[in-house]
Amino acid sequence: MTAAALVRRSDLKRMAEIAKAEGVRVEIEVDGKIIRVSPDIPENHKQQRVDMKPEDFTSLADWQAWRDQERAREAQRHS
């Protein structure tokens, strides 16, 4: 016979919905054990593309290296 779950699935789903909607970690304590549900890391924590301007580069080689990286990223996104 299996042991009863500390938290029902419906309770976990409710916790997950709140965590995602509010962007917070939700936790409850049952019998001295803490159960936490955290939201996914928001998109704003991912590295953003920076639009560079010609004056941002100190040399032609820097600009060419940046251009090559950008082209590689574009190719990777489209593959």
3-state secondary structure of 71: helix
C-beta separation of 51 from 31 below 8 A = no
C-alpha triplet 29, 24, 45: angle, nearest 5°: 140
Could you give the CA distance from residue 17 to residue 68 in angstroms, rounded to a whole number? 42
Single pTM value for the model = 0.47
The per-residue pLDDT for range 60-75, each reduced to its tens digit, is 888 888 889 888 888 8
Ranges under pLDDT 50 in the chain: none
Backbone angles phi, psi at 34, to 5 degrees: -100, 130
Could you give the CA distance from residue 43 to residue 67 in angstroms, rounded to a whole number? 25
